[in-house]
Amino acid sequence: MGCPQVCSGATLQCSFGVAPSMLSVLPQNRTLTAGMPAANIMDHIPLVNILPFGMCQSLANPMVAAATAAALGVLTPMPCIPATATPWIPGGPPTMLLGNMPSLDSNSTLMCNWAGVIKIAMPGQVQMLIP
């Protein structure tokens, strides 16, 4: 059995974010899963698909580095502005294409330019096993 398909409303977590976020998927691929638009690896656009994770704690983020330097080296988180320039990394071999791109499954990861790794905490739908 494969991983659950990820859809709009999925819960995301960044390794340097202090709060979870949600995935927003536009209905451009015209495919629904659990009644919501299904995601593919190209749904990585900051502030469109990837919403902020509260505050960012990564020193690779220039805003965090500047605030930390101003605080004499005390880590000072700053508001998260996702910087996801590349598509999602599939969690395994593609099993389905959406809009000619691999669909997003719950094992996929996304890299932030500020060294964060974004993972899918809850795909937006669940699989039920019926005995």
Residue pLDDT, tens place only, 108-131: 999 999 999 999 999 987 666 676
- 124 neighbors 16 (Cβ within 8 angstroms): no
Any idea where the domains of the chain sit in the sequence? Answer: 7-123
* pLDDT confidence of residue 21: 97
Average pLDDT over residues 15-31: 92
* Euclidean distance between CA atoms 66 and 72, whole angstroms: 10
Residue 63 DSSP SS3: helix
Q: Which two tokens stand for residue 41?
A: 């690896």
* pLDDT confidence of residue 66: 98
Give Cα 121 distance to the centre of its chain. Answer: 9
Residue pLDDT, tens place only, 58-98: 999 999 999 999 999 999 999 999 999 999 999 888 888 88
The Cα-based distances of 47 to 21, 24, 32, 85, 128 in angstroms read 11, 9, 22, 12, 32
* pLDDT confidence of residue 50: 97
Average pLDDT over residues 16-26: 96
Residue 77 DSSP SS3: coil
* Euclidean distance between CA atoms 17 and 33, whole angstroms: 27
**Model pTM?**
0.89
Average pLDDT over residues 31-35: 78
* Euclidean distance between CA atoms 101 and 96, whole angstroms: 8
